[in-house]
Structure 1
Amino acid sequence: MADEVDITANDSNDTIPLSGRDTATHEGLLFAYGSLLVMALVPIFWGARRSVYFHEGLKQRGESAAERITAKDAAMFPLYASAGLFGLYLFFRYLSKEYVNLLLSIYFFGLGVGALTRVTSILVEMLIPSSILNHMTCYSLLLEQRDRRGDKEEVFKLEFNIADIGLCVLAVLTGIAYFVTKHWLLNNVFGICFAFTAIELISLQSIPVGCILLTGLFFYDIFWVFGTDVMVTVARSFEAPIKLVFPMDFLEHGIYGNNFSLLGLGDIVLPGIFVALLCRYDARQHPDRSRLYFIVSFIAYIIGLLTTIVVMHTFRTAQPALLYLVPACLGLPLVTAVIKGEIADLWKFEDYPDVKPEEETTKSDKTE
């Protein structure tokens, strides 16, 4: 989490760097931090709850999540993320920033249109009665793979109705508006949709896998924020919706404010997929009681993010949010499980149990 930097002249005509926080009012700071907190909580709460229905639907159809993080993936993720982050840093340092951002904007344009279409489609399903939606004309796109014997295997399938087409057109127009203006409001629209979609769709294999992933990212975030200027430089140079921003001068200039505080999407998505896993654990293992572990982990995220904001404000420097989020999001649920006597059950829980050897053999025989 960081503030954008302004350059302000002093009385001796020298220039000194001041953080955006130093040039903002107390009211503006409070409003900006509160807005970032709310924008972070919405996709985590909604995405975690929606993930229950999405993944249970996959299980009922005998499918598994396309985006599934295993123990190996979790262990390697900080290394891959470090390589990608440092690569972007070199691009911004030695190549034209405008050219790099143009290429990245084109890439995120496609991703953003897909994420915004999905989110608005879910909202339409919630707001419009199913009796109306069921009467809409439906379409499907199917891509199949066929072997020499003529056996078919489904590779890709997309089903949509006339409302989805209209929502896609709206998402494209919104993407074009963001591509042209780079306005922070449109940035946040796409950022929230990215975060929600990732939290809903991505599956952690188990609680231990989530612990491995978040522990590795705990050290990753500390190193790249405190050890170098790489993380902050990339965050400020990257003109794509990979962060949520809010102007600290919003109370003075409204939507035209330009003194921003920012929060990276990784600080939302990565703890968020762990919160979503605990939500699915509650739904499957204890469907008759309240979502205890989901509530505890959600409160833990709030505590971690508030701690980040307080420390950043106190020490007046960018903070690695995962330094505070990871201990909170891992610690409170695990302590709760120990107190409840459910730590063994929680630790053994798997979102998608591995395929048994005999089932693997059967599947391999079918494909030969």
Structure 2
Amino acid sequence: MAEPVPAAVPNATDSNGTEVLNATAKFVATPEGTALAYGSLVVMALLPIFFGALRSVTCSKSKNSADAPETITSRDAARFPIIASCTLFGLYLFFKVFSQEYINLLLSVYFFVLGVLALSHTMSPAMARIFPESFPNKQYQLLFTQGSGESKEEIVNYEFDTKNLVCLVLSSVVGVWYLLKKHWIANNVFGLAFALNGVELLHLNNVSTGCILLGGLFVYDVFWVFGTNVMVTVAKSFEAPIKLVFPQDLLEKGLGASNFAMLGLGDIVIPGIFIALLLRFDVSLKKNSRTYFVSSFLAYIFGLGLTIFVMHTFKHAQVGGGAGRSDVREALSEPRNRAGSVEPGS
């Protein structure tokens, strides 16, 4: 395997006018490393869409209030880009005014809690099949009420069992790993859990709502990515498992690799909930074929592949984000120098 070749770095000039070679050279990924990174991102994007869509069918039929999906209406879809824009610009101002370190500390704790719950919910169906029938599975109920007598009102009513507790413990281990190390594998585990839960639990009420949502977010992306530097600033400052990453230097450095290609969760969840809608429509037709689901799934694969190809060819990253659509689409590497700072992708 060929070693990565550093790109040419302009010489710096010291106070005496003598040229000094810059000690930090940008990493240039090998073709094999780039192909592995991009291919892995595509596979990781397809998994939560496929399984999330399947689980959305079951979720729509579930009578358990804890698993009830959140339905997105046309009004919600129309307001979504506006709310996302306000949130994005708010984050931009926060990073400009307050210390990035403290903001990311709060975000890490927040996403730790969300990640543990999301991963636990993702693992529950699989764990239910793994445990033997003889496993002592006790039922529990977490009930929090307000008032008394006839005026008593339920605030929280959550039912769970021993298997759910086991999932919660295992998810907490991953959460602590992410919180302490911020390792890319832990980041991807949480990211996949977020994406799968999003596709499963966020339901569009009809196709026109999906078109409104996708069209509005297209305008949102174009404005914030190419019209301002707000999106790029927030994306580079935001440390949270809101993206899937895969190192382009994995073949050279193993699990300690640090030059990542990235794909934002918004590029998975938003198309994913539309694809899940088409699968539920196929199921409602009560036919053996899954024409709409398969067609849209193949179209997504083509679109994602074309996007990565264009970004790699023109060396221009696209970044998008916001409330409910925290998304960093960057198919370019982000080399880190010896001091740990991030340099722009070459």
Considering the TM-score relative to the shorter chain, is it more than 0.5? yes
Alignment partner of 2:318: what SS?
coil
What are the residue-to-residue correspondences of 1:239-258 with 2, within 5 Å?
Answer: 239-258=239-258
Aligned-partner Cα distance in 2 for 1:7–1:70? 50
Residue among 47, 55, 71 paired with 1:68: 71
Alignment partner of 1:191: what SS?
helix
Whether 1:117 and 2:116 are equivalent positions in the alignment is no
Alignment partner of 1:287: what SS?
coil
Q: Please list every run of 5 or more consecutive structure 2 residues that lacks an aligned counterpart in the other structure.
A: 1-5, 13-19, 322-346
2:201: which partner in 1? 201
Deviations 1:100-158 (A, max 9, x none): 100111111110110011111122124446x456x51111223456687x166654332
Bigger share in helix: 1
Aligned-partner Cα distance in 2 for 1:56–1:7? 55
Q: 1:158 to 1:316 in 2, by over 3 A?
A: same
What are the residue-to-residue correspondences of 1:117-266 with 2, within 5 Å?
Answer: 117-128=120-131, 131-132=133-134, 136-144=137-145, 150=150, 154-266=154-266
Shift of 1:90: 2.2
Q: 1:232 to 1:15 in 2, by over 3 A?
A: farther
Deviations 1:57-82 (A, max 9, x none): 14xx7999452211111001001111
Residue among 38, 43, 46 paired with 1:41: 46
Residue among 55, 64, 89 paired with 2:60: 55
Aligned-partner Cα distance in 2 for 1:126–1:199? 22
Alignment partner of 1:232: what SS?
helix
Taking every aligned residue pair, what percent have the same amino acid on both sides? Answer: 51
Whether 1:312 and 2:274 are equivalent positions in the alignment is no
Shift of 1:289: 2.1
Q: 1:63 to 1:280 in 2, by over 3 A?
A: farther
Q: 1:207 to 1:234 in 2, by over 3 A?
A: same
Alignment partner of 1:231: what SS?
helix
Query: CA RMSD, aligned part only?
Result: 2.7
TM-score, normalised via structure 2 length: 0.82
1:25: which partner in 2? 30
Q: Which amino acid aligns with 2:253?
A: H
TM-score, normalised via structure 1 length: 0.77
Aligned-partner Cα distance in 2 for 1:14–1:81? 44
Q: Which amino acid aligns with 1:310?
A: F
Asked if 2 retains the 8 angstrom alpha-carbon contact of 1:7 and 1:16, the reply is: no
Alignment partner of 2:62: what SS?
helix
Aligned-partner Cα distance in 1 for 2:274–2:231? 23
Alignment partner of 1:156: what SS?
strand
Q: 1:272 to 1:251 in 2, by over 3 A?
A: same
Q: How many residues align?
A: 309
Shift of 1:85: 1.2
Asked if 1 retains the 8 angstrom alpha-carbon contact of 2:60 and 2:69, the reply is: no
Aligned-partner Cα distance in 2 for 1:132–1:54? 27
Aligned-partner Cα distance in 1 for 2:213–2:129? 33
Asked if 1 retains the 8 angstrom alpha-carbon contact of 2:224 and 2:230, the reply is: yes
